[in-house]
Amino acid sequence: MIKAIRGFKDILPSEACIWQYVETISQKILRDYGFSELRLPIIEDTSLFVRSIGQDTDIVSKEMYTFPDRKNHSLTLRPEGTASVVRAFVEHKMYARDQYKKFYYLGPMFRYERPQAGRSRQFHQIGAEIFGLAEASVDAELLILVYDLFSKIGLPSITLSLNSVGCPACRPPYKKILQEYLQKDHATLCLDCQQRSEKNPLRVLDCKNDDCQDIISRAPTILEHLCPTCQHHQQEVERLLKLSNAPYQINHRLVRGLDYYTRTAFEVTFAGLGAQNAIAGGGRYDNLVEEFGGPPTPAIGFALGLERVVLALQGQGTIPPPSPSIFLAALGEKAREKAFLLLRSLRQKGFCIQMSYQDSSLKSQLKQANQQGAQFTLILGENELNNQRIIIKDMEHASQEEVALEDISEVLKNKFLPFLAKREIF
């Protein structure tokens, strides 16, 4: 039997309805906040990711799906979305137009990692990016958007961790200070961290190895060594979050795994997801547009992991409400023919209605109606057809009444009013 390859999954209908629910709500909120959708290619030139994410990051050095095409160009299945958004922003000179500076995207990303709960090789993100604004209020707005988003989706109990990773003016001096500090206890650090302290000392901070914990906990923090501009920016972001009653935790050890971040860096976690508990993350990247040949353009963005959001919703038993539906049971050849036409006419009027494809017993058709979760079943047999009437049965209350066939659409409309009133999104 041929199976889906490792780390790639089918999303079956019972789960896909949760995906649709999350995607629909997210897109509505993003549009309300002024974001427009940007649809991007799934494959890009390999150098796009090497240059933006960073050669020495784990993503680039060991997790990318990179392969040569037929003309030996090195291509890569995108491991994240921001690089492509920046590429498109510069390529189409979108900086020249005011109206499109907030973008969102959604779609599959690919990383060659060991699969486990909440982590597959093809995974899906919804991301949002804002270009051209350096103000701290933009950072705050984006974080508040994240809160609104998760709250509307049905996950209000998230934890927001916040930090600053500085800028080209203050990060290098801090790196040196950290490196000097780490040098004193170099031998005590784990092997990984001994290497990291040379290449990328900031990454030592989020090491979970016991040997390193004591050293890390007493390490100088970056917030104490920010330049005045970064410091002011950070304080202003925090002030606006407090003003908005958006809780957050400063995490001095929060370091992102992508090199392009500057200043604000954050991560959203959800308890109960196990080891892979980060459901969203992002930060500011004020120099990336310029590095890709655009004019100096500050930017900030975030992405959320759809698999993990869906897992979190399933974990707390949140299941989107089924659409109200009708089942049409018909008995005998003549009634089935009439029902076939009625089915179409009711669908054209906007009703969600199904009928049995086989001329089976009423019992079996009612069973089908029950399985499909139909609120009402219409019963059309020879008797009803002869009198030009139809039975409408309320499945939940097990009650039924007979109405004139020509009135059925009006009767159903009235029956469905209370159901429709309860539904906000669909």
Check: CB of residue 244 under 8 Å from CB of residue 271. Answer: no
CA-wise closest residue to 131 among 80, 78, 89: 89
Does residue number 36 form part of the binding site for RNA (CB under 7 A)?
no
Q: Distance (Å, rounded) from C-alpha 241 to C-alpha 139? A: 10
Min separation Cβ 323 and RNA, Å: 16
Does residue number 129 form part of the binding site for RNA (CB under 7 A)?
no
Select the residue interacting with RNA from 278, 352, 405, 411 (CB under 7 A): 278
Q: Which is nearer to RNA, 232 or 340 (CB)?
A: 340
Residue by residue, DSSP assigns 397-425 as: TTEEEEEEGGGHHHHHHHHHHHHHHH-S-
Residue by residue, DSSP assigns 182-229 as: HHHTGGGS-HHHHHHHHH-GGGGGG---HHHHHHHHTSPPGGGG--HH
90-98, 169-177, 237-245, 379-387 -> range binding RNA (CB under 7 A)? 379-387
Min separation Cβ 308 and RNA, Å: 5
* Distance (Å) of CA 269 to CA 146, 162, 304, 305, 418: 12, 11, 10, 11, 37
Min separation Cβ 269 and RNA, Å: 8
Does residue number 207 form part of the binding site for RNA (CB under 7 A)?
yes
- How many C-alpha atoms does 5 have within 13 Å on its Cβ side? 4
Structure tokens at 253: 């050890």
Footprint on residues 135-194 left by RNA (CB under 7 A)? 192
Does residue number 314 form part of the binding site for RNA (CB under 7 A)?
no
Select the residue interacting with RNA from 77, 226, 331, 339 (CB under 7 A): 331
Does residue number 12 form part of the binding site for RNA (CB under 7 A)?
no
Min separation Cβ 54 and RNA, Å: 9
Q: Distance (Å, rounded) from C-alpha 162 to C-alpha 250? A: 5
Binding site for RNA (CB under 7 A): 1, 3, 6-7, 57-59, 63, 80, 111, 113-120, 123, 125, 192, 203, 206-209, 256-258, 267-268, 274-282, 303-305, 307-308, 331, 360-364, 366-371, 379, 381-384, 391, 393, 395-396, 398, 400
